[in-house]
Amino acid sequence: MKKILLSIVATLSFLTGALFFTSNGYAQTTVKVASDIAYAPFEYQDSNQQWAGIDVELMKQAAKMNGWQLEMTFPGFDAAINNLQAGKVDAVIAGMTITDARKQIFDFSDPYYNSAIVIATTKQKKIASYDALKGKIVGVKNGTAGQTWLEANQSKYGFTIKTYKDGVAMTSSLKAGNVDAIMDEYPVLSYAITQGANLSINIKPIPLGSYGFAVMKGTHPELIAGFNKALATMKANGDYQKIVDKYTKAKSSNSNSENSFIGILKNNWKQFASGLLVTLELLLLSFILAMVIGTFFGLAIVSPNRVLRTIARIYIDFIRDVPLLVFTIFLFYGIPNLLQLITGQQSPINEFLAGTIALTLNASAYIAEIIRGGVNAVPKGQMEASLSLGVSYGQTMRKVILPQALKVSTPSLVNQFIISLKDTTLVSVIGLTELLQTGQIIVARTYQSFIVYGIVALIYIIVIQTLTILARKLERSLK
Ligand code: ASN
């Protein structure tokens, strides 16, 4: 028991240490910038798995000119804004429209690209006026200027709004017929059309403003000044125009080789492999920690000590009451926000750490229940006999009961391991590039949702089937 307690304390202090390290552990000159995930021609992953686009190149050039060490992340527009507000990044560049409402919250650079929002449909379902949207469902990305416009004009035109977390989810939904139309920025939709997406624009765009590089209001004036200076230089020396032309005049980059199962697999196997690696790392680390914590609470709940039993019950019930997805989002966005309120300092927590903590705590509650069941399955007489021989409770538990309980619990533990593996997909919401998020990034470039998600599912099937076969073998050998 003492050892288990010690390892829990060690684990928790490691996690807390890591949390504080990630909050303060970067050098001054590093500039963290978040961006959208699927927003070509401004940001997207090209077929060499490199992040490319107008925003990416402008940002890289600006960083170079200012001597900043640039760290760019691409979690999606809504998540990028959340990350900025939670202090996880210093700035956002994501084709972000400068609006009056946003100016209350953010400081913007000089405008760098003129844009307008517009409605698109598939080629089969043309919509030629805003009045024709009556009774229709319009998809839009959460947190965007387009969403604000739709909400303000919903009652006027009589459509329903459906929101999505990124452009991939939105266009896939249009393709599948779940929405009749989508709203996004004109340059983005027209670029997608040149890349062969089944989209059609038959309506006049609405200008809302230009794009700007943004920081939280009152923070980082040096970044805004540095960006503005670099932008002015790039406009003067022609670099700006070169970057814009490179992306807006580009021919289809979606090579034919990426239209088939084999082609997608051949071009992206490295990316799938590294996504799978992150998934497995997350799974193994969180499951080992969950076994330690779960065993502790499982033993606590069968212990003769009432206080221990009550604490364990509260812990298990509390963890099981909160959905894992909510828990993950709460940890990643909620806790740093709370720390910021208390300490007045930005205290971001890294995605992998947040994902690991969420998965660990979640699995630990179920493991505790499994261990409890295992201990209860061992005949009571064994404990009584051992105690009457003068062996202590702790020793009996460790040497006699627990080994048998673990044996009885093995099938359920294996089952929990597989559930935990599948649960890792949930942490893709915070932008952790595990296997599912990897698939989403590839779909963002190729628009091949059927093939890419098919491959992702296939990888899970292979991994889980392998585990199941191994588990059956293990069970048989235990018998
Ligand atoms: N143009 C969007 C906005 O300003 C941002 C985006 O979708 N990346 O709200």
The pLDDT tens digits for 137-181 are 999 999 999 999 999 999 999 999 999 988 888 988 898 888 999
Q: How far is the CA of 206 from the centre of ligand 1 (A)?
A: 14
Above pLDDT 70, what percent of the chain? Answer: 92
| Ligand 1 centre distance from Cα of residue 130 (Å) | 21
Q: How far is the CA of 93 from the centre of ligand 1 (A)?
A: 10
> Separation of 240 CA from ligand 1 center, angstroms?
20
Which numbered atom of ligand 1 lies nearest the CA of 36?
Answer: 8
pLDDT recorded at residue 250: 61
- If one residue of 118, 185, 190, 206 were mutated to test the ligand 1 pocket, choosing by the most ligand atoms within 8 A of its CB, it would be 185
* 145 CA distance to ligand 1 middle (Å): 6
Residue 172's pLDDT is: 83
Q: Which two tokens stand for residue 234?
A: 């790039």
Q: Is the pLDDT of residue 50 over 60?
A: yes
- Which of 36, 39, 77 has most ligand 1 atoms within 8 Å of CB, for mutation? 77
Alpha carbon of 95 to ligand 1 centroid (Å): 5
51-65, 173-187, 338-352, 385-399: range with lowest mean pLDDT: 338-352
Q: What residue has token string 């560049």? A: 93
Question: What is the predicted pLDDT for the residue at 256?
Answer: 56
pLDDT for the residue 349? 82
The 3-state DSSP class for residue 237 equals: helix
Within 8 A by CB and 6+ apart from 366, the residues are 294, 320, 416, 419
Q: Which two tokens stand for residue 303?
A: 């212990």
Mutation pick for ligand 1 pocket among 35, 39, 103 (CB with most ligand atoms within 8 Å): 39
Closest CA to 426 of 270, 286, 294: 286
Q: Which of 82, 144, 148 to mutate to test the pocket of ligand 1 (most atoms within 8 A of CB)?
A: 144
Q: Which of 39, 56, 96 to mutate to test the pocket of ligand 1 (most atoms within 8 A of CB)?
A: 96
Cα torsion 324, 326, 332, 336: sign: negative
Give the model's pLDDT for residue 335: 87
Of 433 and 138, the structure prediction assigns the larger pLDDT to: 138
Cα(47)–Cα(69) distance, integer angstroms: 25
Q: What percentage of the chain reaches a pLDDT higher than 90?
A: 66
Q: Give CA–CA dist 107/243, Å, rounded.
A: 24
* pLDDT band at 22; cut points 50, 70, 90: very low
- Strand extents, DSSP E, 186-254: 206-211, 214-216
Ligand 1 atom nearest to CA at 80: 8
Distance (Å) from CA 450 to ligand 1 centroid? 26
Instruction: Check: CB of residue 67 under 8 Å from CB of residue 107.
Output: no
State the pLDDT confidence band at 21, using cuts at 50, 70 and 90: very low
Would you state the pLDDT for residue 442? Answer: 85
Domains of the chain: 26-110+212-248 (3.40.190.10), 114-210 (3.40.190.10), 258-478 (1.10.3720.10)
Q: Which atom of ligand 1 is nearest to the CA of 146?
A: 9
Using alpha carbons, select from 185, 187, 168 the residue that is nearest to residue 244: 187
> Residue 126 — very low, low, confident or very high, per pLDDT cuts 50/70/90?
confident
For residues 228 and 16, which has the higher predicted lDDT (pLDDT)?
228
**What's the pLDDT score for residue 28?**
55
Please report, for residues 175, 237, 276, 282, 435, the alpha-carbon distance to residue 421 in angstroms, rounded to integers and kept in the order given. Answer: 30, 52, 11, 9, 11
Close Cβ partners of 61 (under 8 Å, ≥ 6 residues apart)? 230, 234, 239, 243
Whole-number Å distance, alpha carbon 188 to ligand 1 midpoint, is 10
- Give the Å distances, CA to CA, from 76 to 21, 53, 428: 25, 14, 11
Strands 91-92 and 30-34, by their bridges, are: parallel
Residue nearest to atom 9 of ligand 1 (CA): 144
Supply the residue whose CA is at minimum distance from atom 5 of ligand 1.
Answer: 96
Inter-CA distances, 419 with 346, 363, 394, Å = 34, 9, 31
Which atom of ligand 1 is the closest one to the Cα of 117? 1
Lining residues, ligand 1, CB within 6 Å: 36, 39, 77, 94-97, 141, 144-145, 185
CA of 390 to the centre of ligand 1 (A): 71
pLDDT recorded at residue 253 = 52
What atom in ligand 1 is closest to the CA of residue 141? 7
pLDDT tens digits for range 68-104:
999 999 989 998 998 998 888 999 999 999 999 999 9
Task: Please identify, by atom number, the ligand 1 atom nearest to the C-alpha of residue 148.
Answer: 9
In angstroms, what is the span from residue 144 Cα to ligand 1's centroid?
A: 5
Q: Identify which has the larger pLDDT, 345 or 339.
A: 339
- Which tokens hold the place of 134? 């009556």
In angstroms, the Cα distances linking 168 to 111, 171, 180, 444 are 26, 5, 16, 5
DSSP letter, residue 90? S
**Nearest alpha carbon to residue 324 among 241, 176, 430:** 430
Flag whether pLDDT at 365 surpasses 80. Answer: yes
| pLDDT for 1 beyond 60 | no
